[in-house]
Structure 1
Amino acid sequence: MENKTGILIFSRSTLAECSVKKFNGNHSFFESQKKRLEALCAKTGLDVIWFGEKHQKGKNFGERFCHSIASVFSKGYDSLIIIGNDCPQLKFNHLQSSIKSLESGNASLGRCFDGGFYLLGIQKKHFKYSEFINLSWNSHKVSNELVKSLKPKVEIDFLSIFKDVDNQSDFLSLLDFSKQLYTDVILILKRILKFFNIHFQDPTLFVKEGVTGVYFNKAPPSV
């Protein structure tokens, strides 16, 4: 019998994300992310389990995240690819790479620049709730701690390091990665920042002007 692999999308709904991450363009961004993830995941042919805020249980992020993984594993899956909805650089080839890693018996990890991660591919036998729950969730330490936890058990295949979006500053800085973004994200950024008259091949200009301009000043505190 072949191992059963599923994709767990751990993410709030668009409205819930927007209520927490209050930056200009948030609704358009998260709505486009939702549609793209649905299409990318469907392309893999794997089961997709979306764990929104109504399904998550726990007092904090770590408890909700770990409960979601344990809950899906209890449904009979042997391995999971866990992703969120705030990394617009995630593409189909990254899901493919994670699937291949799991098929070869390895784990896979896509880390973020802020010390978190946007993708985790893991087998059920390597998931230890008691270890995961004690990681420094929502901190710059969590991906390194996760690596230390998994390394004695399994080889880890690392994906590219990407950017996730938590606030206005993160959203603006996506322009530094314009060549890795989908067209719809670029259009959202251009529309929100009103930079139609500036050549888009120099993203540094966008970030510099955006950070010092009116849109940055309107940004809420980081969550």
Structure 2
Amino acid sequence: MQKLSQHTAILIFSRTAREEAHVKQFGRHLSAAQNLKIAQLLIRRTRRMAKRTRLPVFTVSGGQQRGRTFGQRFTNAIADVFDKGYDQVITIGSDCPALTPQILLDAQQQLQRGKIVTGADHSGGIYFLGISRQHFLRQTLANIPWQSGQDFDSIRQYADQLQIELAAGSMLIDVDDARDLKRVVQGGHANCDLLKKLRQLLQYARISVSCPVWFPQFAFPNACGLRGPPVYPVG
């Protein structure tokens, strides 16, 4: 095993781009190829963003995942990173364009202070989870009702059961469907490069189909300004 230069690793746990495009419809007038392109843009942006933290980054997607349920696949992936010798793991998905390196580095600091770290998305799920080896109860975490809109509340209860302080970040948007993508594009909830590419893709789709895409206007107020790091209140 190589010598670890960091105690914390980032785990990108997600579907493949093709799986994302199959499960999610980012716009009802988008072609299959355009839908796939959006999924690819989100995944590539996530990987570049994670690498900018200069923390070790591991990706587990598609057929690399092991387990019957989401909870089993998720916790197996986390356990595999711990098995590599890391003491803390920050897991992220691939569909939160407003997630920044600074948010992840702030989460690392909270982990080093003995806390569990998470952040709620707009639908009751979570867009990241930071946990230390000592607080990782594999079976308990696997049995959480994941993808039910109760993820954040379940993590809060998990921390309460362990009597561990939970550090919660600001609420961000996960892109799960066309409405979420509209909010991201119109609200500037992503970096400039991603917004530009999404805007070009959606404008092209609007021209190339007989019925106009229901993204009526593309407004970018303060689109280039990244959101500040979240405030972590005492749980």
For Structure 1 versus Structure 2, the TM-score category normalised by the shorter chain is: 0.7 to 0.9
How far is the alpha carbon of 1:144 from its aligned partner? 0.2
Contact 1:107 1:122 in 2 (8 A): yes
- The Cα offsets for residues 26-63 of structure 1, whole Å up to 9 and x where unpaired, read as 32322222222222222222111100112101122122
Partner secondary structure for residue 136 of structure 1: coil
Match of 2:156 in 1: 147
Partner secondary structure for residue 50 of structure 1: strand
Contact 1:111 1:117 in 2 (8 A): yes
How far is the alpha carbon of 1:3 from its aligned partner? 6.7
Match of 1:170 in 2: 180
Contact 1:32 1:184 in 2 (8 A): no
Q: How does 1:176-187 map to 2 (within 5 A)?
A: 177-178=187-188, 180-187=189-196
Match of 2:228 in 1: none
Contact 2:185 2:218 in 1 (8 A): no
How far is the alpha carbon of 1:175 from its aligned partner? 3.8
Match of 1:214 in 2: none
Structure 1 unmatched ranges of 5 or more: 203-223
How far is the alpha carbon of 1:72 from its aligned partner? 1.7
Do residues 200 (structure 1) and 209 (structure 2) align? no
Q: Percent of counterpart pairs with the same letter? A: 30
TM-score by length of 1: 0.80
Classify 1:125/1:3 alpha carbon distance in 2 versus 1 (closer, same or farther; 3 Å).
farther
Partner secondary structure for residue 80 of structure 1: strand
Q: How does 1:88-127 map to 2 (within 5 A)?
A: 88-127=97-136
**Paired letter, 1:36:** R
Contact 2:6 2:56 in 1 (8 A): no
**Paired letter, 1:169:** R
How far is the alpha carbon of 1:132 from its aligned partner? 0.8
2:171 pairs with 153, 161, 168, which one? 161
Match of 1:217 in 2: none
How far is the alpha carbon of 1:4 from its aligned partner? 1.6
Q: How does 1:1-223 map to 2 (within 5 A)?
A: 4-23=7-26, 24=30, 25-151=34-160, 152-175=162-185, 177-178=187-188, 180-187=189-196, 188-189=198-199, 191-192=201-202, 194=206, 198=217, 200=219
**Paired letter, 1:174:** V
Q: How many residues align structurally? A: 201
**Paired letter, 2:219:** F
Comparing 84-93 with 15-24, which one deviates more in the overlay? 15-24
TM-score by length of 2: 0.76
Distance 1:201 1:42 in 2: 26
- The Cα offsets for residues 87-135 of structure 1, whole Å up to 9 and x where unpaired, read as 1111111111111111222221111010100111110111111211221
Distance 1:30 1:57 in 2: 22
Classify 1:161/1:80 alpha carbon distance in 2 versus 1 (closer, same or farther; 3 Å).
same
Contact 1:22 1:167 in 2 (8 A): yes
Contact 2:119 2:152 in 1 (8 A): no
Structure 2 unmatched ranges of 5 or more: 207-212, 222-235
Comparing 136-145 with 165-174, which one deviates more in the overlay? 165-174
Classify 1:122/1:197 alpha carbon distance in 2 versus 1 (closer, same or farther; 3 Å).
closer
